[in-house]
Amino acid sequence: MEINMFGKPAIVVVGSINLDLFIEASRFPRAGETFEGDRFFTGGGGKGANQAIAASSLTAPGNVMMVGRVGGDNFGEQLISNFDKYGVLKDRVRVDADRSSGIALIFIDETKENYVLPVYGANTGCDDQQVVDARDAFENATVLLVQQEIPLEVTFAAMNAARVAGVTVVLDPAPVRELPEGFIEAADIVVPNQIEAEAVTGVPVDDVESASEAASALRARGLQAAIIKLGQYGCYVDSAEVVGHVPGFSVEPVATVAAGDAFAGGLAVGISEGMRMQDAVELGNAAGALCVTKLGAQDSMPTRAEVQNLLASTR
């Protein structure tokens, strides 16, 4: 696989960069109660950075670029070093000396479900500079990955610039926010989970049939594809190539943190490599499944060999 050494990535990610603070406990304390947890650890996070590292773990070093901001603190230095570790181009990660780095408190209960409480810090300072940085990186890019953890006007402008440049825009509409008119339509592919799908379509999603209804409603807004993530049950796809349920993979979960980000990274890699939609979605499903078998967010992202082994074992 050819290694990109010249700062011209195939995949550009514009979004958040956080330090995750994980707490594991059998349950949460009640109001006024002190209840002892089981474990604490830290790791790189933020949906943008997670997706960049997920994609980079599945492709050659230098094929993914991160665009965003960290604070001028020790957390920021640690977060930037993570990009080196995983081969993500960091040239356009700016340091905001006036703000702290973004953080997220992540609680993991005994069922391995996660609950996330972020404070976005330097991510809130993203502005026109990030749009310029992204536009400069579009020369050789095929995919832009975006989410909703930095100011929406910045994400919106980056999506519009990508569309002008002929770059496929993949939007993960998380977390749920009040969206400006035309925001969803600025994407080519939208990949919400069940909660986010209901927020953007008004359709409660609790099974494959309702996922089909929500995906159809999204496609009707002019999208190339709508992909509703269904956790362990895979996803529902509505696109020109594929319409239907794509099952997930049976794994033993350790924590569900960043599974959706792993999916987005896998999907982006598949698209950038010219895969059929079915194959790109299966790559994303496999990445998301393997992600939940490990602790952490960025540290849980699988390699291409691990994903290929899972795909081969199920075919």
Q: What residues act catalytically?
A: 261
Token pair 């998301």 is found at 288
* Nearest-angstrom CA–CA distance, 264 and 301: 12
Round to whole Å and give the CA distance between 256 and 234: 13
Rounded Cα gap, residues 31 and 258, in angstroms = 28
Burial of 129 (0-12, 13-18, 19+ CB in 10 A): middle
Give the span between the Cα atoms of 288 and 7, in whole angstroms.
27
Which among 121, 153, 222 is positioned nearest to 14, based on CA atoms? 153
Measured at the alpha carbon of residue 46, what is the angle toward residues 263 and 139, in degrees to the nearest 5?
A: 70
8 A C-beta contact, residue 87 and residue 1: no
Whether omega for the bond prior to residue 118 falls within 30 degrees of 0, making it cis, is no
